[in-house]
Structure 1
């Protein structure tokens, strides 16, 4: 993850800027195949909960963050 990514998360989540939904990937393995796999699992299991949410995805967890 780059510092730029962290700044984006802070602007949206901590500063409360409006958004239509954010998926924040905090993965140790940043290979494209891993990102695609995690996003596919997220969509298969949580698609109905994603709109308007700030979602943090790690290697082992999906967390819906609350401001």
Structure 2
């Protein structure tokens, strides 16, 4: 499993995932200021699961048909410590949750998935 961390995904979370031997490509590190469509294109072409705090990805999937096979994880969490998204991701990986062809929405009280 490999991830593509959107520009808004906290750097400490990228580092924590890497420390747990999770492959993470960071938009902020390699592709600064590219569009959401370009992020989707990279994820599709490299078979990466997107990690984001940006709600626009649902629209890109369901209205515009950009559907990465590895899925998108949208963190709808407004108050968090910088490592919290990584901790949540690691917990989901440990639980063997599949992100494939799904929009996974994580908020304060729940985790929901919508297949595409």
Query: TM-score of the superposition, structure 1-length normalised?
Result: 0.68
Q: Which has the higher contact order (CA 8 A, sep 6+)?
A: 1
Residues 28-65 of structure 1: per-residue CA shift (max 9 Å, x gap):
22432111111112212243x22121111112211012
Pairing 1:64–2:103 present: no
RMSD: 2.3
Q: Find the aligned partners of 1:14 and 1:42 in 2 and give their Cα distance.
A: 27
Structure 2 residue 116 is the aligned partner of structure 1 residue 38 = no
Is 1:6 equivalent to 2:59 in the alignment?
A: no
Unpaired segments of 5 or more residues in structure 1? Answer: none
What TM-score does the superposition give when structure 2 sets the normalisation length?
0.45
Among candidates 11, 23, 27, match of residue 77 of structure 2:
27
Say whether the 8 Å CA contact 1:13–1:54 is kept in structure 2.
no
Equivalent in the alignment of 1:53: 102
The offset of 1:18, in angstroms, is: 2.1
Larger radius of gyration: 2
Q: Which of structure 1's runs of 4+ aligned residues deviate more than 6 A? A: none
Aligned residues: 64
* CA distance in structure 2 between the aligned counterparts of 1:53 and 1:66, rounded to whole angstroms: 4
Q: Which has the higher helix share?
A: 1
Contact kept in structure 2, 1:26 and 1:57, CA below 8 Å:
yes
**Structure 2: gaps (5+ residues):** 1-7, 9-35, 37-53
